[in-house]
Amino acid sequence: MDRSEFVRRLVLNSISDDFENVDQIILRNVAKVGANYGWIIDRSEVVNALTSLVEEGLAKAYILSGLMRSPFAGELTGMAPMDVVEEDFKTYFYITKKGMERHLSDGTSWRLDEEGDPS
C-alpha cells in the first residue's frame, strides 16, 4: 500500500465513528499515526484524502452548527472548500455506508487502538 492510500485509510478510520472536523480532530489523529512511521503528514494530504473519499462516495461533508435541527440538514453535495484552516469548526466529515463497508473489509493491519496507534 502506498502512502496516499495509507493516509486515506487513516482518514476514513478517523471519521468512522463520529462527525469530525479536519482542523480539530482528523489532522491531529492522522499526523500522530504518521509520526509513528517517521512521516510528517500535513493538512493538504488530509484534505486530498478527504476529497478523494468524498468523490468516491466513501465519506460525506456537512456544515454543522447549533442552529440546525439535525446533522443531516447541513449535508453538502460534494467536497467543502478547505483552502484555509477553520477557526469556527463548521465543516465536518462522516463515513458513508459504502465507506464503512470498505473500512471493515480492509483487514486489521492498519486499524488503530484507542490511543490512535496501529493495532
Answer whether 84's CB lies under 8 Å from 39's CB.
no
Answer whether 58's CB lies under 8 Å from 15's CB.
no
Alpha helices in the chain (DSSP H): 3-14, 27-36, 43-55, 97-105
Q: What is the pTM of this model?
A: 0.81
Q: What is the pLDDT of residue 116?
A: 52
User: For a pLDDT cut of 70, what percent of the chain falls above it?
Assistant: 82
Domains of the chain: 3-97 (1.10.10.10)
The pLDDT tens digits for 82-106 are 888 888 888 899 999 999 999 988 7
CA distances from 104 to 50, 95, 97, 116, 119 (A): 18, 12, 11, 17, 14
The pLDDT tens digits for 18-51 are 999 999 999 999 999 999 989 999 999 999 999 9
